[in-house]
Amino acid sequence: MLEVLTGSGLAASAGLNAYIPLLVMGLLARYTDVIQLPNGWQWLGNGWVVAILVVLLVVEFVADKVPVVDHVNDVVQTVVRPTAGGLAFGAGAGSETVTVADPESFFAGNEWVPVVVGVLIALGVHLLKSAARPLINATTAGVGAPVASTAEDATSVLVSLVAILLPVLVLLFLVGLVFFAFWFVRRRAVRRRERRAVRAGGADR
């Protein structure tokens, strides 16, 4: 169960920022004993991989904070974030962390399953983020973009660390995410009805 929570948290984190969970795992695996990546994922701790992730993170960090550019970035990241989520779940679910002392092959014989699960989790978070950002930009005249992006990056870092160190707390994040998604969908539905009512009122005149 802890392996699943670790993988789920890392995948959800990738839905907010593709590179943060991969970089967190790579750095912790390379420089600490907090996490030991499974054999098939040890490349995440390679120095060149870490350097490339840092560069990509810087580009993502800047692009996601500029109105309009952030929308283009989200379109591009529709492929990147789910892919990163699949990698993060696959590596995290099979890793040995300070919390999981005896990591068995949870998905024994079906190594593709955790990758697919991670892709779906990250895609769901990404779609929610992508849907919320235009609304934030429109209601704040673009001022809210860097604030929202910074909050998303901070959340991605926090969830990545929690997923590795205290995976049980990932449940709180996932539950909160479900409630936010429910609230956001209802909010959008209300706004659509209000806009239709305004248009209908204008047509009657």
Give SS3 for 146: helix
pTM over cut 0.75? yes
Q: How many CA atoms lie within 13 A of 162 on its CB side?
A: 19
- Alpha-carbon distance 102 to 137, whole Å? 46
Give SS3 for 35: strand
Please say whether the beta carbons of 60 and 36 come within 8 A.
Answer: no
Residues 6 or more apart in contact with residue 110 via CB below 8 angstroms: none
What is the chain's pLDDT, residue by residue, as a tens digit (205 residues)?
667 788 888 998 999 899 999 999 999 989 988 888 877 788 888 999 999 999 999 999 998 888 788 888 888 888 899 989 888 887 876 655 555 444 454 445 556 677 788 888 888 888 888 888 877 777 777 677 788 888 889 989 998 998 888 877 777 777 787 787 787 777 777 777 766 666 666 555 5
Query: Dihedral, CA atoms, 21, 168, 171, 91, nearest 10 degrees?
Result: 30
Tokens of 184: 């956001």
**Alpha-carbon distances of 149 from 28, 74, 129, rounded to whole Å:** 24, 11, 10
Tokens of 27: 């750095």
